[in-house]
Amino acid sequence: MKHRLKSILCPVVVTAMLLCMAVACGTTSIEENSNTVEEEMIEKEPIVVGFSQLGAESDWRSANTQSMKSSFTGLDGYTMIFDDGQQKQANQIMAIRKFIQQEVDYIVLAPVTENGWDTVLQEAKDANIPVIIVDRRVNVEDESLFVCWIGSDFELEAQKATEWLHQYAENKKIPAQDIHIVNIQGTLGASAQIGRTKGLQDAAEKYGWDLLAEVTGDFTQTKGKEVMKSLLQEYDNINVVYCENDNEALGAIEALEEAGKKVGSNLINGEVMVISFDGINEKARSYVQEGKISCIAECNPLLGPLVRVAIDTVESGGVPNKYYYVNEEIFSANPNITSVTVDKKEYPVTIVAK
């Protein structure tokens, strides 16, 4: 980590100036005045944080970027160098190497996928630059390559959402074999996609649901709509659409409604249920109120303050927790399901008023 004290005038020059002033003014404590002026002439350089964001594919990502930027504004002893990876790991690796060349004090990485980071993170470690991982995880052989990870428990999010669906089906006495699900996945290989897909697969196997198909929508509204249109052409019995983020859900709803489908929770009367993740998009939240999205498992994007705490901990000589999960809720307009239970722990459902 580079030295962050910058001397405006060298001590020899400062002392000479003070000696002249002392003679002219009759000052008796040259050493005392010298120390005082030197302290005033030394200023702290800001702590420089290089942030490699994977892209801007969703409203969640935009909120996450804003949270990071607002936590390192340059007004409080920190400054941030931001780089948008545009969904390409090669761009992010290039950004990290540039941060190393710039001798930043910390690197924060929101990785596009989990694998392929060992070499560049080793380069950062060799340069004595601590790395903090946010949101998606990295799969590395040596976990000392990063100081800590801060983000969401994506599999738990999925478990909450699927338990909500299970309770709904039980309350309505809908047989498991009558639940026909398609999964519009996120970017393949991303931690959110891996966790949310696994949670659904496990629940489908556990409860006997019919998991018809899993196709990536890349976490975007455009791709979500495109995938939904294709799935409707292939399957005529879809009644649950599990979207791995809000943007995909909005695209899927567009495709469903354009195909003449009624979006809602009344599966018995032929409606198609949409389940989503994130809870950031304003339109998606309004769709929960309207019943077009039956439930949303929250994914909290406001990670900036937690990254700041981690860096402050390192700066003070401490060691932050290796893994830190943010608190998250689940939202629905259905008043009959007030909580879900995962691994014997109860999680309240926030009921959104219609």
**Rg, the chain, Cα only:** 26
Per-residue pLDDT at 2: 53
pLDDT number for residue 62: 95
Class of residue 319 by CB neighbours under 10 A (exposed 0-12, middle 13-18, buried 19+): exposed
In the chain, which residues have pLDDT < 50?
3, 5-34, 36-42
Q: How far apart are CA 125 and CA 106, in angstroms?
A: 11
Instruction: Strand 339-342: give its sheet, edge to edge.
Output: 210-216, 180-185, 240-243, 273-278, 295-298, 330-332, 345-351, 339-342
Q: Are strands 78-84 and 131-134 parallel, antiparallel or unpaired?
A: unpaired
Cα–Cα separations (whole angstroms), residue 13 to 33, 34, 41, 253, 273: 14, 11, 12, 71, 75
Sketch out the chain's domains with CATH numbers.
5-34 (no CATH), 44-152+302-325 (3.40.50.2300), 154-300+330-351 (3.40.50.2300)
Taking the model in full, what pTM does it have? 0.82
Supply the pLDDT for residue 175. Answer: 97
Instruction: Supply φ then ψ for residue 41, to 5 degrees.
Output: -85, 0
**Per residue in 261-298, pLDDT tens?**
999 999 999 999 999 999 999 999 999 999 999 999 99
